[in-house]
Chain A
Amino acid sequence: MQELYQAVLDGDAKAAAALTRQALDNHVDALELINSAMVPAMDEVGRLFEAEEYFVPELLLSARAMKASMELLRPLLAASGTAPAGRVAIGTVKGDLHDIGKNLVAALLEGGGFEVFDLGADVAPEKFVAAIQEKGVGIVCLSALLTVTMPSMRATIEALKEAGVRHNVKVMIGGAPVTQQFADEIGADAYGASASAAVLLARRFAAQRNESPAHTA
């Protein structure tokens, strides 16, 4: 378990996959691997990023290692009916093709035990609506890098209202030009100033929905 934790922390995808296979061969429970290695490793990555000991390259490498392990674990979780910490739809809003910041948030959320539906970049408002209606997500994360695409955040929230799904979800926004003031202006539920702040907010929202992390259905 400690070795898997370290492999994710070191961003070693090959080692993370090999150690996950080895643990599963030894009948270690998939959920146990996530709760004891994956979640604490990605939490530590988030902490190091916040403390400016890790930067974008390190975070991307750790995210890739985490994904290499999760690809092996996800089917087992689905087969056993294990519920995630929460379901999140995330995307860069319409008109904006920048996705590195969004990818970092998605990786920390996934590593934090959330089921993440990454809708990509340049995402039209109706795609967020569809994710809420079809995937049952409780949290929507909107990202924008550009000043000129910030209005798409407002348009997305308006689309959620028009579709009658706004009250079903918490909406978090983030990105370089975004501020708490802007979040308040457009009626978002929260502003995440950093990737790890987004995870803390998502956990708070998930707790409010009476969903505990990685609880078994």
Chain B
Amino acid sequence: MTGIASPSIAPSRQRVLESLSHRSPAAIPLDFGSTAVTGMHVSVVAALRDYYGLEKRPVKVTEPYQMLGAIDEDLKQVIGIDVEGVARRKTAFGFPNTDWKPWNFNGLEVLVPGQFNVTVDPCSGDTLIYPQGDLSAAPSGRIPKGFHFFDAIIRQNHFDENNLRVEDNLEEYQPVSDADLDSIASDVETARETGRAVIAGVSGTAFGDIAHIPAPGLKDPRGIRDISEWYMSLRSRGDFIHRIFAAQTEIALRNLERVHARIGDGIDILYVCGTDFGTQTSAFCSVPSFRELWLPYYRQICGWVHRHTSWKCFKHSCGSVARFYDSFIEAGFDIVNPVQCSAAGMDPEHLKKTYGGRLVFWGGGVDTQKVLPFGKPEQVREQVLRRCEIFSPGGGFVFNTIHNIQAGTPVENVVALIDAVNEFRN
């Protein structure tokens, strides 16, 4: 069934809402830049601005962990983007996204937040970044010399095996403050005015996201912060992990209540969690482990959302995760991302046929491991058109690349992608 535009809803938001409701919109909706997993590296954004002849100005790095660039309104209109993100007040490194200042990043002039304070390691030439911008703290992130984004530096302090404290692993998940609420409400209003669908996150819903475990925003992280130690804990300290997730759920539910009370249905999609369960060829844990350790908490979060709001629940997980999709559905997730079709068992036609009526595929549009960075523009076009043919029938599809577009991707290929989406739309 084809959707009919409502006079009260802007066309962009309308096509997203229809697709989320598993109805065919007039044109497939498109996302770039609304979240930290659906964006573009700052160098790609700069190259696109040049390509399209937009005003020359340094691009803002709104997500410094992965060095993602802000896609401003002029570029959004050129691309035809339908989703607007509400950014967190603070970056992953614990400083606010404000007070922009220039920074030269591998020869590219960009803008970074005022407390984006870095040094260069005199031995390696690597760039080091500091939590909350505090140069007296130990650095919490590193870009190898000449490369493109930060990775967390593991700062694992000693912990007492017999006296593990849940609160140590919860320091980064705090109740929303009144200032947070004011900021969220203001940003949601601004986002809503764009006429696009709006997506936002709320602190506390990321259960065991390995990107957050090292706590790059904390000056002196306590608890289990080493990534391997965390993975082992899932098996060897299951009770402790349950206690963390249960306490985190309480924080998240309280935050959801307060945010919803303030913004109501001002957003359309809740970004719930980015924990990766898949690898290229397999999974990080078994389905029974997922159901034992994560499902109860996801169910509480998504259940609350569906009982109290009109929001849809968004789940990001890279890799080979089709085996988890039934459990994701049971947990209450509506949307899966990035739909990594290059991973084992992630054939797009199989996914659409098996889960297309129950899950929205937000991604899967083009392979960012091989075709987009290394293919020719014609190969990009062919894959984009084919993926649109597979995923778009009956709605349930928001076009996005499979995760962020990486540095070094030829701008001609990104343009071929954008052109192909618009060709399919027309």
Contacts and interface: CB of A to CB of B under 8 A. Distances in A.
B151 A98 contact: yes
Contacts of B283: 52, 55
A55 B116 CA distance: 37
Contacts of A53: 286
B408 interface: yes
Nearest to A104: B228
Given A11-B235, A64-B232, A147-B406, A55 B369 contact: no
- Counting from the closest, the 8 A-B pairs by CB-CB distance are A57-B235, A97-B151, A176-B280, A95-B147, A177-B369, A95-B144, A57-B234, A57-B231
A149 B146 CA distance: 11
A124 to B, nearest CB: 9
Contact of B286 (A52, A61, A64): A52
Given A11-B235, A55-B283, A56-B284, A103 B144 contact: no
Interface string A35-69: 00000000000000000110111101100100000
Centre residue among B235, B279, B373, B374 by max chain A CB count within 10 A: B235
Interface in B125-155: 126, 142, 144, 146-148, 151
B281 interface: yes
A94 B125 CA distance: 12
A148 B142 CA distance: 16
Interface in A103-149: 103, 122, 146-149
Interface in B252-289: 279-286, 289
14 contacts: A11-B236, A55-B285, A56-B279, A57-B231, A57-B285, A61-B236, A64-B232, A97-B144, A100-B228, A147-B374, A148-B147, A148-B406, A177-B370, A193-B281
B296 to A, nearest CB: 19
Given A64-B232, A147-B369, A56 B285 contact: yes
Contact of A148 (B148, B236, B280, B289): B148
Nearest to A181: B370
Contacts of A57: 231-236, 284-285
A44 B350 CA distance: 33
A61 B370 contact: no
Contacts of A193: 281
Interface string A3-40: 00000000100000000000000000000000000000
A61 B407 CA distance: 35
B281 A147 contact: no
A48 to B, nearest CB: 11
A165 to B, nearest CB: 24
A98 B280 CA distance: 14
B281 A61 contact: no
Contact-residue size bin, chain B (C-beta under 8 Å from the other chain): 20 to 34
Interface in A137-173: 146-149
Interface residues of A, number: 27
Nearest to A101: B279
B401 interface: no
B230 to A, nearest CB: 9
B144 A55 contact: no
A147 B235 contact: no
A194 interface: yes
Contacts of B144: 94-97, 122
B248 interface: no
Contacts of A179: 370
A148 B283 CA distance: 23
Given A61-B236, A97-B151, A176-B369, 18 more contacts: A11-B232, A11-B236, A55-B289, A57-B234, A57-B285, A61-B232, A61-B235, A95-B146, A95-B147, A122-B124, A122-B144, A146-B406, A149-B147, A176-B279, A176-B280, A177-B369, A179-B370, A193-B281
Contacts of A11: 232, 235-236
A169 to B, nearest CB: 24
B231 to A, nearest CB: 5
B329 interface: no
A194 B283 CA distance: 12
B176 interface: no
Contacts of B281: 193-194
B408 A55 contact: no
Interface in B225-248: 227-228, 231-236
A182 B369 CA distance: 12
B249 interface: no
Nearest to A12: B236
A26 B147 CA distance: 53
Interface in B203-236: 227-228, 231-236
A54 to B, nearest CB: 9
Interface in B144-183: 144, 146-148, 151
A96 B234 CA distance: 25
B142 A97 contact: yes
Contact of B227 (A100, A146, A194): A100
A148 B408 contact: yes
A100 B151 CA distance: 13
A58 B235 contact: yes
B34 interface: no
B368 interface: yes
